[in-house]
Structure 1
Amino acid sequence: MTQLTRKYHFCASHRLHSEQLSPEENIHLFGKCNNPHGHGHNYYLDVTVKGNPDPVTGMIINPAELDEIVERVVLDKFDHKHLNLDTDEFKNINPTSEVVAMVIYNMLRPQIPMLYRIGLWETEKNYFEYMDSGEHI
């Protein structure tokens, strides 16, 4: 079994806020990330596919095809957007990076059957990873 990981970049803002918490609880839990106007990140997205290389091409997937799918399904929707306000995916869920990684996986999975893992770099120190465990939230 072989894996291929491609790296992508997008910029987006979000506000960490849970409707299930009081304003005080949100401020205490999320601090400056609860700013009503949001805050931004330069995200790096790792998309990993896993499979056996095709006997003719020697590839798991054509990288150009993978790039087109990721651009159309994820980057066109999220790049330079406020995730809470500008996207349907986060209208009713708190866009923590844990959740963003899971949502991106679920967006790409129908388009990329051999999708294995999503890695999302929020900052140089914060990395989040989502792999399908068979349970869907």
Structure 2
Amino acid sequence: MIHITRRERFSAAHKLWIADWSEDQNFAVFGKCANPNWHGHNYDLFVTVKGPVDPKTGFVVDLRFLSDLLKDKVIQFLDHKNINLDTPFMKDKMSSTENIAVAIWDQIESEIKSKGADIHCVKVQETENNYVEFYG
């Protein structure tokens, strides 16, 4: 079993806020991530796929396919967008890094499988020190 990883980057704004909580409670739980005027990150996205090596191509999947898939299904909906307002696959979801990772997995899983591979991990790095890894 071989694992290959593609990295993409996107910049996006979001806010962590629960509408039926008080402002004090939101700030107590989410801190500066509850800023009423939003805040942003320069995210790194790492998608690792796994599978057998095709004996003809020598690939698990064509990295050009993976790059195009991520741009078409994920990056165009996140880059320079407000995740809470502009990203259809995040509608009605808290825009936590955890939920972003799960939503990205859901956006691309079937197309990865159609190429004979599986997603091993979706890693979303929000800051230099904070990242989420989702293994399905």
| Residue identity opposite 1:128 in structure 2 | V
Runs of 4+ in 1 over 3 A off after TM superposition: none
Give the TM-score taking structure 1 as reference length.
0.92
Distance 1:2 1:91 in 2: 34
How many Å separate the matches in 2 of 1:90 and 1:66? 21
Q: Distance in 2 between matches of 1:60 and 1:21?
A: 47
Output the CA distance in 1 between the equivalents of 2:60 and 2:46: 16
Tell me by how many angstroms 1:20 deviates.
4.5
> Which residue of structure 2 lines up, in the alignment, with residue 130 of structure 1?
134
Gapped runs of 5+ residues in structure 2?
none
- SS across alignment from 1:116: strand
Unaligned runs of 5+ in 1: 133-137
Aligned to 1:135: none
**Larger fraction in helix:** 2
| SS at 2:4 equivalent | strand
Q: What secondary structure does 1:89 align onto?
A: helix
Q: What amino acid maps onto 2:122 in structure 1?
A: I
Match of 1:100 in 2: 100
Deviation at 1:97, TM superposition (A): 0.4
Q: How many pairs were matched up?
A: 132
Aligned residue type for 1:93 = K
Backbone CA RMSD of aligned residues: 1.1
TM-score, scaled to structure 2 = 0.92
Is residue 118 of structure 1 aligned with residue 122 of structure 2?
Answer: yes
Same amino acid, percent of matched pairs: 38
Q: State the Cα deviation string for residues 54-91 of structure 1 (Å, max 9, x = none).
A: 01111000011111100000001110000001122223
Paired residue for 2:55? Answer: 55
State the 1:131 CA deviation: 1.1
Q: Work out the CA distance in 1 between the residues paired with 2:20 and 2:111.
A: 33
